[in-house]
Amino acid sequence: MAAEGREALYYEKLDDGRVRCALCPHECVIKPGAVGICRQRANQDGTLVSRIYGRVTSVAMDPIEKKPLYHFHPGEQILSLGTNGCNFACLHCQNWSISQEDSHTRGLSPEEAVRTADESGSFGIAYTYNEPLIWYEFVLDTSKLAHQRGLKNVLVTNGFIQRAPLDRLLPFIDALNIDLKSIRDEFYKKICKARLAPVLETAKVAKNAAHLEVTNLVIPTHNDSDEDLADLANWIRDNLGADTPAHLSAYFPAHRLNAPPTPAATLERARDIFSARLNYVYVGNMALPKGSDTRCARCGATLITRRGYTTEVVGLDGRKCKACGAELNIVVNGP
The residues that touch ligand SF4, with contacts defined as CB under 6 A, are 21, 23-24, 26-28, 36-38, 41, 86-90, 93, 95, 99, 130-131, 134, 158, 192
Min separation Cβ 92 and ligand SF4, Å: 7
Percent of residues in the chain assigned helix, strand, coil, to nearest 5: 25, 25, 45
Nearest residue relative to ligand SF4 (C-beta): 36
The CB-of-236 to ligand SF4 minimum distance in angstroms stands at 19
How many beta carbons lie within 10 A of that of residue 207, not counting itself? 18
Cβ distance to ligand SF4 smaller for residue 26 or 211: 26
Q: How far is the CB of 99 from ligand SF4 (least distance, A)?
A: 4
Phi, psi torsion values for 118, nearest 5 degrees: -60, -50
- From CA 321, how far away is CA 14, in angstroms rounded? 56
Q: How far apart are CB 308 and ligand SF4 at their closest, in Å?
A: 23
CA distance 222 to 12: 37
For ligand SF4, the closer CB: 180 or 316: 180
Min dist. Cβ of residue 181 to ligand SF4 (A):
8
- Smallest distance, Å, CB 47 to ligand SF4? 13
Q: Which is nearer to ligand SF4, 185 or 243 (CB)?
A: 185
Beta strands in 39-164 (DSSP E): 41-44, 47-50, 55-56, 58-63, 77-82, 106-107, 124-127, 152-157
Paired with 60 in beta bridges are: 80
CB closer to ligand SF4 out of 95 and 329: 95
- Taking the least distance from each CB to ligand SF4, the nearer of 28 and 173 is 28
Nearer to ligand SF4, 76 or 201 (CB): 201
Q: What is the bridge-based pairing of β-strands 19-21 and 124-127?
A: unpaired
DSSP code for 35: B
To ligand SF4, the closest distance from the beta carbon of 288 in angstroms equals 23
CB 327 to ligand SF4: min, Å? 33
Separation between Cα atoms, residue 237 and residue 281, nearest integer Å: 12
Specify which residues 213 forms β-bridges with.
Answer: 177
Q: How far is the CB of 118 from ligand SF4 (least distance, A)?
A: 28
Of 37 and 328, which CB lies nearer to ligand SF4 in the complex structure?
37
- Cβ(213)–Cβ(246) below 8 Å: yes
C-alpha–C-alpha distance, residues 53 and 50, integer Å: 6
Q: How many CB atoms lie within 10 A of CB 231?
A: 15
Which is closer to ligand SF4, CB of 206 or CB of 296?
A: 206
Give the three-class secondary structure for 41.
strand
- Please give the Cα distance from 85 to 158 (Å, whole number): 12
Q: Reduce the DSSP state of residue 90 to 3 states and report it.
A: coil
Answer yes or no: are the C-beta atoms of 267 and 250 closer than 8 Å.
yes
Nearer to ligand SF4, 45 or 119 (CB): 45
